[in-house]
Structure 1
Amino acid sequence: MNVLKLPLASEAVDRSGELRLKPDELSRLWQEARILHFASGKFLVKSNFELDFQSASQISQLRDGKNFAVGEELFLGIDKGIAYFAWCSDAVDFESFELLESYKTLRTLGDYLPQLEMGLAIHTQAIANWHHTHQFCARCGAPTESANGGSLRKCTSDGSEHYPRTDGAVIVLVKDKEDRVLLGRQKIWPEKRFSCFAGFVEPGESFEQTVLREVFEESGIKADEVTYLGSQPWPFPASIMISFSALATNPDLAKADGEEIEEIRWLTREEMREAIADQSLTLPPSMSVARKMIEFWYEKFGADVRDLSGK
């Protein structure tokens, strides 16, 4: 169970996996479904930033037009008797498409979508990203085609089945015995942004081993008391973030590795509040697991998490 309340970690729709093997039933459901349009990394939305669900006939009009290339139909699941699908395509004229206000990225929509719509959008983006990058068979190089409601791809030559990939990554809130937190800054991030330490799980590693390795590699810190906090899908493009806290055993030896991390800072709650107020430090976006981990630590003894908004 998640200790943290994570904005991308709620699945509100029954994915109804048993229907993926029934193409005739999926075709019937499509005709009455609510359908998302996901195009070139963006969702069709209403003016109030809600997802703009389309009917089958509206998707047919988009298909027949000249603005979008042929796309994939993805079955997302059923909620309260309503079937949900996505039609994923690419804009033909990408420069013109980028100017449209009616399509927004998931990062833009993250603070606005209700739970059900968020779950559908995450599912859509993650699976669409995978389809886009797995057009050919890894065994023989032949083209693949979507099957089972978009839940897998089949090789058109040897019939092998290929399933979506999700990359496991740990993210760690490092603390010391005085309950300070250690945050780091990557060179590629926006100016003054600091966050938790993170990295991908390597073959043969447990999550806990990855925590210890990543923290030491990036900060020189040796840690113990690794504690699970929660997990969050992160479809940018296809990760699952597994969050932990850990206790530093050598806090005075903290040092940025100079490669991935260019600067690190130990912070008390008061120091963090002051740094945000004087704009010498900014935190990750509110939809990220890193932000929720920092907020979870900050409000532990009754501090007001609104202090971290910088307003």
Structure 2
Amino acid sequence: MEPWVTRSELDRAPEGRLEDAAVEAMWRHRAARVIGVDERSNISSDQTGNALRPIAPEGGYDPEQHYLVGTVAGAPWFAVPAATQGPSASLRQLGGVLEETEADIATTAVALVNWHRVAPFCGQCGTRTLVREGGHMRWCPGCDRQRFPRTDPAVIVAILDEAGRLLLGHHTGWEDTRVSILAGFVEAGESLEAAVRREIREESGLELSAVRYVGSQPWPFPRSLMLGFVARAIGDEIRVDGTEIEWANFYSQSEVTRLVDAGELTLPMRSSIASRIVAAWRTGDLTI
């Protein structure tokens, strides 16, 4: 399976963002660009909704509101929490059409802005924290502690039966034809492999024999990291939980093609790791 943005040219500038003066100089750089992220996590885009719409920085640098995403070929990119003032599109829409560097920029911008919106206060003493390192850290003056962006791990799993058929499930609340592979959050103190087995047991009633990691994708809705796996089911008797998963079935590659072509199944959106995993299975590149 093709990994997430392996050809991205984004340099996250971990050393260059340590001093406010250096980040401020980047803000004033003639080639600097800004991406707006609004309250719905939509990003400034062009009229088609298929490309980013960066703008030049305006006004003085504000470390509390201007977050350094990184640099591309020496040009700094910033994210700001603000109304996009023009066309905008969701990361779900843009993620499937942007080239890899812009996809990396957009995902990082949304992740940073979302984190700062929900983490202004210290979880230890309640003091309002201050932004440091170009937006990649918050410092608490009350207890002198550093706070870094939190990432919530979630597993997403392609389950194959002995015949190589793929399990696709329909989530309650989705449009009638939409299906995907199963997923869930990792619990405290739980390994990834244990989370895979627990989530699949809870949602489908299936037990697993083999489990293999295949890749990951940042998914800042609001702050997840999706960790992809492929697993082998023991048997094929499915018992969905009825709460999250309404129904699920095993499908062969030919059945998926026929049902998708007939409009009876809708596969995951192109921006998601689920789409990449399903596509790898359909081409015979996903094995366990």
Taking structure 1 as the reference length, the TM-score comes to 0.84
Q: Residue in 1 aligned with 2:68?
A: 75
CA RMSD of aligned residues (A): 2.2
- Taking a change above 3 Å as real, the CA distance of residues 121 and 259 of structure 1, as seen in their structure-2 partners, is same
**Residue 280, structure 1, aligned to residue 258, structure 2:** no
Alignment equivalent of 1:22, drawn from 19, 22, 46 = 19
Q: Residue in 2 aligned with 1:196?
A: 181
Corresponding residue SS for 2:66: strand
Return 241-250 or 7-16, whichever deviates more: 7-16
Corresponding residue SS for 1:247: strand
**Residue 224, structure 1, aligned to residue 209, structure 2:** yes
How much does 1:107 deviate?
1.8
Alignment equivalent of 1:31, drawn from 11, 15, 28 = 28
- Taking a change above 3 Å as real, the CA distance of residues 16 and 84 of structure 1, as seen in their structure-2 partners, is same
Q: 1:266, 1:128 → 2: CA distance? A: 39
Q: Say whether the 8 Å CA contact 1:9–1:232 is kept in structure 2.
A: no
Q: Unaligned regions of 5+ residues in structure 2, if any?
A: none
Q: Residue in 1 aligned with 2:244?
A: 260
Q: Say whether the 8 Å CA contact 2:96–2:269 is kept in structure 1.
A: no
How much does 1:37 deviate?
2.2
More helix by share: 1
The superposition leaves residues 104-145 of structure 1 with CA deviations (integer Å, 9 ceiling, x where unpaired) of 222222233221111111001011111000111111222222
How much does 1:239 deviate?
0.7
Q: 2:208, 2:179 → 1: CA distance? A: 20
Matches within 5 A, 1:36-115: 36-40=35-39, 41-48=41-48, 49-56=50-57, 59-60=58-59, 72-89=65-82, 91=83, 102-115=87-100
- Taking a change above 3 Å as real, the CA distance of residues 101 and 21 of structure 1, as seen in their structure-2 partners, is closer
Q: Say whether the 8 Å CA contact 1:231–1:240 is kept in structure 2.
A: yes
The superposition leaves residues 149-197 of structure 1 with CA deviations (integer Å, 9 ceiling, x where unpaired) of 1011122433322110001011110001111111111102222211111
How much does 1:45 deviate?
2.2
Q: Which amino acid aligns with 1:179?
A: G
- Taking a change above 3 Å as real, the CA distance of residues 270 and 206 of structure 1, as seen in their structure-2 partners, is same
Return 233-242 or 70-79, whichever deviates more: 70-79
Q: Unaligned regions of 5+ residues in structure 1, if any?
A: 64-69, 92-96, 302-311
Corresponding residue SS for 2:28: helix
Q: Say whether the 8 Å CA contact 1:31–1:55 is kept in structure 2.
A: no
Q: Say whether the 8 Å CA contact 2:93–2:271 is kept in structure 1.
A: no
Q: 1:9, 1:127 → 2: CA distance? A: 21
Matches within 5 A, 1:169-180: 169-180=154-165
Q: Which amino acid aligns with 1:208?
A: E
Percent identity of equivalent pairs: 34
Q: 1:9, 1:244 → 2: CA distance? A: 19
Q: Which amino acid aligns with 1:203?
A: A
- Taking a change above 3 Å as real, the CA distance of residues 28 and 86 of structure 1, as seen in their structure-2 partners, is same
Alignment equivalent of 1:142, drawn from 127, 134, 154 = 127
Q: 1:76, 1:191 → 2: CA distance? A: 38
The superposition leaves residues 5-39 of structure 1 with CA deviations (integer Å, 9 ceiling, x where unpaired) of 25667643111111222211111111012222223
Corresponding residue SS for 2:15: helix
Q: Residue in 2 aligned with 1:122?
A: 107
Taking structure 2 as the reference length, the TM-score comes to 0.90
Q: Residue in 2 aligned with 1:12?
A: 9
Corresponding residue SS for 2:97: coil
Corresponding residue SS for 1:275: helix
Give the paired residue count. 280
Q: 1:173, 1:39 → 2: CA distance? A: 33
Corresponding residue SS for 2:231: strand
Q: Say whether the 8 Å CA contact 1:215–1:222 is kept in structure 2.
A: yes
